[in-house]
Structures are given as C-alpha cells and as structure tokens.
Amino acid sequence: MIILAATPIGNLGDASQRLIEALTNAEVVASEDTRTTIHLMRALGIENRPRLIPLHEHNESEKATEIVELARDADVLVLSDAGMPAISDPGFPLVAAAAAAGVTVTALPGPSAVLTALAVSGLPTDRFSFEGFLPRKGRVAYFRGLAREERTMVFFESPNRLPAALADLATALGDDRRAVVCRELTKMYEEVARGTAAELAEKFKDGARGEICLVIEGAAPATSDLSTAVTYVLSLVADGARLKEAATEVAEQTGLSKRELYEAALQAKKK
C-alpha cells in the first residue's frame, strides 16, 4: 500500500510514534526532498536506510506510475518536507493514480499548518476553505473573486510577498475585513497576529520572516432582502458614490443581482 505520513511543520516533538515506527521499518520512502528526509531520520535517531525516491512537483506525474507499481508488492511511505503530503505538496497525482489502479492508500495523520492556523486564528472554524498559495500576480482581482465566500479562508504566502498581499486584501475586500497572519507555527518564534486587513498591512509593511499562513474572515451571509439592500445602495450614493459603483459593491456583499439592485435603486430615487 501507499502510506501518506504527516511530518512536523516546525517542532520535532510533533513527530508521532506511528511516523517514527514507519520510518524505522520502511523499505521504500518517496519524499519531496530526500535530503530533508535524511535529516529528519537522523534527528529522530532512526538508523534505518530505506530506498529513497524523490517525489516533487517537477516529477510526480511521471513517478506516480512507478511508485504505484512498487506499492502493489510492498509498502511505500510518502513524505512531504512538512505537514501532510498531497495538501499543497506533492502527492495528489500519486494518490489519484493509486486509486485508479486499485492500490490501497492510507495515512498516518499528524501536523498540518492549515488546521493549526485555522484553530488558533480566532475566526469561525465550522466552515472553511483552503486556497493554497496566493497567486503572484492579479491578487486584487483574485480576492474580489472571493468577496462573496462566506467560509473562513486559509492561504499560504511567501514572507517576501506578504506586505503586498495584505495591501491587496484591504483594497479588494475592504480595510475592515478581519484576518490573521500565522508565522512560524510550532516554532520558537511563533507569532499569531490578528486584526483588520488595514491593521495587518501596516504591521507587516516592512515584511516578515518564516513560514506564513494567512487566515481571512469569510463574507457576511448573503441577504435576499432587496429593500434593505437598496437602502444601503442609496446611502452609499448619498455619501458620494456613483449609483453603478454602489450597486456593484452591495451586490458583492449580499449576493444579489447587480442589475436588479441598480434598477431598483434607480426607481427608488425617482420616487
């Protein structure tokens, strides 16, 4: 079978007993970076020397078939550099190939940056989405595409791009959208910074160090109360916004039709 094994995301003490036993007895290990795997085994005091197969984003599609065939006759332990394989790390094509070939896939659960960040964020945890790494370009448009997402959202981001990402978040979803920057989770210098998009953009304007998870509050539940939404549109117009822009903003917040809001607000203005 194929065994997906979660590895520590920062603190070596989070290595589970099942992971240690699996590494001690493994004959074949497919890992994101074999050097990292060797370092982990040494740190855990494991003397086993299994066959190591590199499995990373550049070769995982072509390696999947080979590893699946190996797993027909022996267990293959699959590791990413940190956390659970296949979760924004190599592993998904392998699991898909194994499922298609009828090869058993199981997992040794353990550390996850996504769930750890969500748990400590202080934002709702009953419904959430994991969006992976933020795009390098077009983040404002990307965030606006998530403007109506009601679930808490979790992202990975590079520390070098964090200041720009937070500024784009404030531009796209508003200065007051709540967010949390989780930095260096489980490590000595762990930091969990909570605030509005504007506050965090200011706090991290000079950059940050370490591994970053960004957790963002979901949108308020959409309302189907057209009359209340029209009143809000008209209040924005009274504050100086153009009717079309106001209708667009309220439509994004409520989930109502922009055209329907515009027409209803136009009729209300004539009364």
Q: Where are the alpha helices (DSSP H) in the chain?
A: 17-25, 34-43, 60-71, 92-101, 113-121, 139-144, 162-173, 197-203, 226-238, 243-254, 258-270
Backbone torsions φ then ψ of 132, nearest 5 degrees: 70, -155
CA 75/CA 6 separation, integer angstroms? 16
Lowest mean pLDDT among 21-30, 133-142, 170-179, 219-228: 219-228
DSSP calls for 161-227: THHHHHHHHHHHH-TT-EEEEEESTTSTT-EEEEEEHHHHHHHTTT---S-EEEEEPPPPPP---HH
pLDDT band at 223 (very low <50, low <70, confident <90, very high): low
pTM above 0.85, yes or no: no
Q: What is the pLDDT of residues 47-93, one digit of tens each?
A: 999 999 999 999 999 999 999 999 999 999 999 999 999 998 999 99
265 near 234, Cβ under 8 Å? yes
Average of pLDDT values for 194-215? 96
Q: Which amino acid is at 185?
A: L
